[in-house]
Chain A
Amino acid sequence: GAVVSQHPSWVICKSGTSVKIECRSLDFQATTMFWYRQFPKQSLMLMATSNEGSKATYEQGVEKDKFLINHASLTLSTLTVTSAHPEDSSFYICSATSGRGTGELFFGEGSRLTVL
């Protein structure tokens, strides 16, 4: 199946700093990418949907100024956690699809963020 690469896998940062997580589709063009957040032993919470070349659509309750999403090309989307705080510590997962309709999403391996 298609491959989605997510980097970094693990990141530890100090409170107040910003962290960028990259999500790349390696062998297909991803028209749409999704960013999820997963708390321990819980399901995936959709944070935002990004379409190449347009602004991301954020889910209710997700701060767009804190979680900056950029989808600059058909193979790359980035999530930047700005002014990170310990409560932002979580497992972030991206996914990508090559088109609308009946295709499945392909997921990255996730990025574990720990804010000290």
Chain B
Amino acid sequence: AQSVAQPEDQVNVAEGNPLTVKCTYSVSGNPYLFWYVQYPNRGLQFLLKYITGDNLVKGSYGFEAEFNKSQTSFHLKKPSALVSDSALYFCAVRDLNRDDKIIFGKGTRLHILP
């Protein structure tokens, strides 16, 4: 079965520093991976996705993610964090064998400290 793991419940980063939010995946077949962000009492906003092609995927709000097949990872990164980046981040994988449903990791809360 497809799954994603986010090993960190919370990540604290000082404003202006680079940030990384970790995600590892387990899939059979080609992985279709996503990152979403959720602000309090809001739905999820799409950040970026990896389907095929370049391992470094660029997304919204200056975020990017690096697909690493050998390490089965898809970490989310940003070179310089902003306080407004503080939110809940979800890594997800799309399971084409199960009605295309997206399976989410447990989420990582990102705190950017001013």
Q: Which residues of A contact B (CB under 8 A)?
A: 1, 4, 6, 32, 34, 42-44, 46, 49, 51, 57, 91, 93, 95, 97, 100-102, 104-110, 112
Question: Is B101's CB under 8 angstroms from A1's CB?
Answer: no
Name which residue of chain B comes closest to A38, CB basis: B38
Name which residue of chain B comes closest to A6, CB basis: B43
Interface residues of chain A: helix, strand, loop or mixed (majority)? strand
Q: A109 and B43 in contact (CB under 8 A), knowing A104-B34, A104-B49?
A: yes
Number of A-B contacts (CB under 8 A): 56
Count residues of chain B with CB under 8 A from any CB of chain A: 23
Question: Is A101's CB under 8 angstroms from B45's CB?
Answer: no
Chain B nearest Cβ from A85, distance in angstroms? 22
Chain A nearest Cβ from B5, distance in angstroms? 11
Name which residue of chain B comes closest to A105, CB basis: B102
Q: In the complex, what distance in Å separates the CA atom of A49 from the CA atom of B101?
A: 8
Question: Is A102's CB under 8 angstroms from B90's CB?
Answer: no
Question: Is B41's CB under 8 angstroms from A110's CB?
Answer: yes
Q: Which residues of B contact A (CB under 8 A)?
A: 32, 34, 36, 41-46, 49, 51, 90, 94, 96, 99-107
Question: Is A32's CB under 8 angstroms from B100's CB?
Answer: yes
Name which residue of chain B comes closest to A9, CB basis: B41
Q: A107 and B100 in contact (CB under 8 A), knowing A43-B106, A43-B107, A44-B90?
A: no
Name which residue of chain A comes closest to B94, CB basis: A102
Q: In the complex, what distance in Å separates the CA atom of A49 from the CA atom of B41?
A: 22
**Please, could you name 24 A-B residue pairs with CB atoms under 8 Å apart, sorted by A?**
A1-B46, A6-B43, A32-B100, A34-B101, A34-B102, A42-B107, A43-B90, A43-B104, A43-B107, A44-B104, A49-B99, A91-B41, A95-B102, A97-B100, A101-B100, A105-B102, A106-B46, A107-B36, A107-B45, A108-B43, A109-B42, A110-B41, A110-B42, A110-B43
Name which residue of chain B comes closest to A49, CB basis: B99
Chain B residues lying within 8 Å of A46, measured Cβ to Cβ, are 101, 103
Chain A residues lying within 8 Å of B99, measured Cβ to Cβ, are 32, 49, 51, 57
